[in-house]
Amino acid sequence: MLLAAVAASVFAGSQPVPPADVVRHVAAGLRLASGLDLPFGWGAAGVPEATAAVLDLRLPRTLLGLVCGLALGLAGALCQAHTRNPLADPGLLGVTAGAACGVVVSLSVLRWSSPSEYVWLALAGAVLAGGIVLGLASRLRTLAPATGLVLAGAIVTGVLNSVTSAVVLLDKATMDGFRYWTVGSLSGRDTSVLADIAPWLLLGLGLAALNTPALDALALGDDVATALGRNVALDRATGLAAVVLVAGAATAAVGSIAFLGLAAPHLALRLARGKMVPAVVLSGLLGAALMLLADTAGRLVLPSSELSVGIVLSIVGAPLFIWIARGRKDATP
What is the number of other CB atoms lying within 10 angstroms of the CB of residue 47? 18
The answer to whether 8 and 296 have CB atoms below 8 angstroms apart is yes
The answer to whether 316 and 289 have CB atoms below 8 angstroms apart is no
pTM of the model: 0.84
Q: How far apart are CA 109 and CA 199, in angstroms?
A: 26
The pLDDT value given to residue 35: 53
Q: How far apart are CA 76 and CA 91, in angstroms?
A: 9
The pLDDT value given to residue 290: 93
Q: Which amino acid is at 154?
A: A
Count of residues for the chain? 333
> Structural domains in the chain?
2-326 (1.10.3470.10)
Nearest to 310 by CA among 242, 226, 250: 250
The answer to whether 36 and 321 have CB atoms below 8 angstroms apart is no
The pLDDT value given to residue 168: 87
Asked whether the predicted pLDDT for residue 4 surpasses 90, the reply is: yes
- Confidence tier at 242 by pLDDT (50, 70, 90): very high
The pLDDT value given to residue 331: 41
Asked whether the predicted pLDDT for residue 106 surpasses 50, the reply is: yes
CA neighbours within 13 Å on the CB side: how many for 85?
Answer: 21
The pLDDT value given to residue 333: 41
Give the mean model confidence (pLDDT) for residues 42-48: 45
Q: Which of 149-158, 295-304, 315-324 ranks highest by mean pLDDT?
A: 149-158
The pLDDT value given to residue 39: 45
The pLDDT value given to residue 73: 93
